[in-house]
Amino acid sequence: MSRTPEIDVGDYVREIPGQQFLVRTEAYTDEDVFELEMKHIFERTWIYVGHETEFPSAGSFKTAYVGRQPIVVIRDKEGKIGAFFNRCVHRGATLLREHQGTVQEMRCPYHGWIFDLAGRTRLVSERGDPGGYGANFIEPEGLLRVPRLESYRGLLFVSLDADIQPLASYLGELKTVIDAKLDLSPVGRIAIASKPYVCRYRGNWKLQTENIVDAYHFMHTHGAFVKLQAKYGDSTGDFGVHKGRSSREMREQRFRGETWSCRQGHGFARVPAADPGYLLDGEFGRMYRELLDRHGEAAFAGITSKATSTVFPSMGMIHQQIRVWRPISVDETEVLIYPYEIEGAPDAFNAGMLRSQERFYGPSGFGMTDDTEIFARVTQGLRASSVEWLVFDRGMDSDERTESGDYRGLPSSEAPQRALWRAWKKMMQQASKHA
């Protein structure tokens, strides 16, 4: 039996500034809470649905979800990208089920209605047959368009809230991370050139949101990988990611830099390059020297830093990948990992980075398997619901609040996780008022 009706959802997060930050167990396990999240968080925020390079020509499409609502993003014959609810306006069948592909039109497999690439109704099948549609039939104009679709530097987001703030404003301080990652390209662009690696785990979607920006867990959750790296160094092809060193050196590296808690719910952790000079004199020194000349020292420091980030509620960027997570149910989540290429970079650079990501994030890698095992263990542990709270206090006493209302924390602070929960509480309190 759900306990949600007995508890004010707004009371699921308790914060004593600078001292204590607690989250109620039911925030991860209660089915009623999950239903509220789908309606009052996922349908009222910006949700990442793809990158412009995934739509190279007319008819290129990709299916996605806003919470649990299916949508299709597609490029029309005029070159414009549009987003529609993936549902025939006749009897509700899903039009496109493949993850992505190319079509000449969108045809309903149930009764054969056809819609063009701009979503307009082009054919109502057997319209004049006996028992068909008469003279008074009001033909639907076409598919229902998703209210908002915007792009930031090629990253496509949609929202079901027609009145939501512009995407650039919503991203806030996180734009500094996105800009730095894209400015690693000599031409300022990235490209997604392959299908994603897809996995599912038993656990709530917020576990992935918390984890991708959690510097605290790495030496523990990925302990076996740390020992492997310490023994074999870069012979496993690290390409500068999770670079092989002794455990002490790896720990020191992870306690450098900063973390951020953004008021919109985003979080990020940023670690400066250990030796920028090594990059300038290394195999790809020419590319890095050109970047330094173009952007200057301050921006170059950001471009060469290692940053992990999350866009509230369900998209992240880490190393050279975009990651998306989709809630299936209160205790099941799908994760899609999209490696991307740096346009204008040497082929060897992109190939090396891809090999590095396969080593840690791919199906036979260490990272995702370690994390999903931990998510399963957390989900199992949360069944001990008599333990009422989870603790997110780390670094609160040293977080600094900025003039914009964001928080800047030390390297392993749980500031990014608190960003999620502050935004979550605000939106869920609004949901409770309308319940």
pLDDT band at 262 (very low <50, low <70, confident <90, very high): very high
| 110-157 per-position pLDDT tens digit | 999 999 999 999 999 999 889 899 989 999 999 999 999 999 999 999
Dig out the tokens for 222 from the structure: 């990925």
Percent of the chain with pLDDT strictly greater than 70: 92
DSSP 16-74: ETTTEEEEETHHHH-HHHHHHHHHHTGGGS-EEEEEGGG--STTEEEEEEETTEEEEEE
| 310-356 per-position pLDDT tens digit | 999 999 999 899 999 999 999 999 999 999 999 999 999 999 998 88
What amino acid is encoded at 256 in this protein? R
Query: What is the set of domains in the chain, with CATH numbers?
Result: 47-149 (2.102.10.10), 169-434 (3.90.380.10)
434, burial (CB in 10 Å: exposed 0-12, middle 13-18, buried 19+): exposed
pLDDT at 4: 43
Cβ-based neighbours of 133, under 8 Å, separated by 6 or more? 124, 127, 139
pLDDT higher than 80, residue 3: no
DSSP letter, residue 358: H
Cβ-based neighbours of 74, under 8 Å, separated by 6 or more? 55, 59, 60, 61, 62, 81, 82, 83, 84, 103, 106, 117
CA distance 59 to 117: 6
pLDDT band at 269 (very low <50, low <70, confident <90, very high): very high
Total Cβ atoms within 10 A of residue 131:
6
Question: Does pTM top 0.95 for this prediction?
Answer: no
pLDDT at 368: 85
Q: What is the mean pLDDT of residues 71-91?
A: 98
Q: What is the mean pLDDT of residues 57-66?
A: 98
Torsion of CA 302, 192, 56, 189, to 10 degrees: 10
> b or e along 78-108 (b: 16 or more beta carbons within 10 Å of the residue's beta carbon)?
eeebbbbbbbbbeeeeebbeeebeebeebbb
CA distance 104 to 77: 9
259, burial (CB in 10 Å: exposed 0-12, middle 13-18, buried 19+): buried
Question: Are the CB atoms for 157 and 46 separated by under 8 Å?
Answer: yes
pLDDT at 33: 95
Question: Are the CB atoms for 271 and 253 separated by under 8 Å?
Answer: yes
- H helices of 133-183, in order, are 167-171, 175-182
Assign 311 to helix, strand or coil: strand
Residue 159: half-sphere exposure toward Cβ, Cα within 13 Å: 18
298, burial (CB in 10 Å: exposed 0-12, middle 13-18, buried 19+): exposed
Q: What is the mean pLDDT of residues 178-205?
A: 95
Question: Are the CB atoms for 363 and 335 separated by under 8 Å?
Answer: no
CA distance 34 to 40: 10
